[in-house]
């Protein structure tokens, strides 16, 4: 059955990692607003500067690209939004978009993690320079063969700012999706395998 989900949480909480885990048992199309932002930043210096500072970029910019992406997606595929919405205005944009394309949001997965662990993880993270997938000790990406690189926004001051932005702008989504009865709260401090298991268990309730 086709399902539509949002996954959100602080920087480094494991959103990208857990989507890779979910794809092992669920056919999923991923729409990652961070990837959209990174591709916009290549053409737009103002976007690159905002990202470098750890700030959100304008809703309209992200949403315009997201709408264009979604227009090309097959109706029969399940969707997961990684890092979108990021504030309450974006929840409304998403609601209207899903309504227009005849879908509804089934679950909002919130992975929680404390700041100390966020900083610890992101200080050592490497990602694939081509597709952005987090890498461990691999010398090249198992998905696309790209080389490991450090993300431009993974320095301590930017990580702290991203965490602050999460608390100020994104954390209100917890109450919002809670009130819609679609919130799934997951402890992100556990092992990758245990987090994946908890998410799978919550999704199997469908
Ligand atoms: P985005 O790319 O979405 O970044 P983020 O939210 O800061 O999150 P990350 O991608 O850094 O972390 P993650 O949760 O995916 O963790 P990961 O799985 O990699 O956004 C970047 C920027 O784009 C924003 O700051 C903003 O400027 C802009 N932007 C994006 N969306 C926007 C929007 N909607 N509106 C406006 N602006 C927007 O894991 C992290 C590390 O931890 C990895 O090394 C991984 O191996 C490790 N790890 C994962 N899980 C575990 C575990 N359980 N135990 C131990 N290690 C673990
Ligand atoms: Mg990510």
Span 170-199, average pLDDT: 98
- pLDDT the model gives residue 71: 85
Among 98-102, 106-110, 145-149, 196-200, name the one with the lowest average pLDDT. 98-102
Q: To the nearest 10°, the Cα dihedral for 28, 29, 32, 35?
A: 120
Nearest ligand to the CA atom of 9: 1
When computed from its CA atoms, the radius of gyration of the chain, rounded to whole angstroms, is 16
In this predicted structure, the answer to whether residue 206 has a pLDDT above a threshold of 70 is no
- pLDDT the model gives residue 44: 97
22 vs 42: CA distance, rounded Å? 29
In this predicted structure, the answer to whether residue 154 has a pLDDT above a threshold of 90 is yes
Q: Which residues line ligand 1 (CB under 6 A)?
A: 9, 11-17, 33-34, 37, 50-51, 54-57, 62, 83-84, 86, 90, 121, 125, 134, 153, 162, 188, 191-192, 195
- pLDDT the model gives residue 55: 98
Angle between helices 156-165 and 115-124 (to 10 degrees): 140
By the CB criterion, residues less than 5 angstroms from ion ligand 2 are 15-16
In this predicted structure, the answer to whether residue 205 has a pLDDT above a threshold of 80 is no
Span 53-72, average pLDDT: 94
In this predicted structure, the answer to whether residue 1 has a pLDDT above a threshold of 80 is no
- pLDDT the model gives residue 151: 95
CA of 74 to the centre of ligand 2 (A): 24
pLDDT in tens, 104-115: 999 999 999 999
Helices (H), 54-146: 59-71, 88-100, 115-124
pLDDT in tens, 16-48: 999 999 999 999 999 999 999 999 999 999 999
In this predicted structure, the answer to whether residue 74 has a pLDDT above a threshold of 90 is no
Under DSSP, is residue 30 helix (H, G, I), strand (E, B) or coil? strand
CA of 96 to the centre of ligand 1 (A): 25
Span 123-132, average pLDDT: 93
Across the beta sheet with 126-128, what order do the strands follow? Answer: 134-135, 126-128, 148-149
- pLDDT the model gives residue 56: 98
Average pLDDT, the chain: 95
- pLDDT the model gives residue 75: 84
Span 120-141, average pLDDT: 93
121 vs 180: CA distance, rounded Å? 32
CA of 7 to the centre of ligand 1 (A): 11
- pLDDT the model gives residue 86: 98
């Amino acid at each position: 059955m086709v399902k539509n989900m949002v996954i959100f949480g602080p920087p480094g909480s494991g959103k990208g990692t857990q989507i890779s885990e979910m794809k092992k048992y669920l056919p999923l199309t991923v729409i990652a607003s961070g990837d959209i932002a990174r591709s916009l930043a290549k053409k737009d210096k103002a976007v690159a500067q905002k990202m470098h500072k750890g700030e959100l970029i304008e809703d309209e910019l992200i949403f315009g690209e997201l709408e264009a992406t979604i227009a090309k997606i097959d109706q029969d595929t399940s969707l997961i939004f990684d890092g979108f919405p990021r504030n309450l205005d974006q929840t409304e944009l998403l609601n209207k978009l899903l309504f227009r394309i005849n879908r509804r949001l089934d679950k909002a997965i919130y992975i929680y993690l404390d700041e100390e662990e966020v900083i610890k993880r992101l200080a050592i993270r490497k990602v694939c320079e081509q597709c952005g997938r987090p890498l461990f000790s691999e010398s090249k990406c198992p998905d696309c063969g790209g080389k490991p690189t450090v993300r431009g926004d993974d320095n301590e001051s930017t990580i702290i700012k991203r965490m602050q932005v999460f608390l100020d702008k994104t954390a209100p989504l917890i109450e919002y999706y809670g009130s819609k009865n679609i919130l799934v709260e997951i402890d992100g401090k556990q092992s990758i395998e245990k987090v994946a298991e908890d998410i799978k268990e919550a999704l199997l309730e469908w």
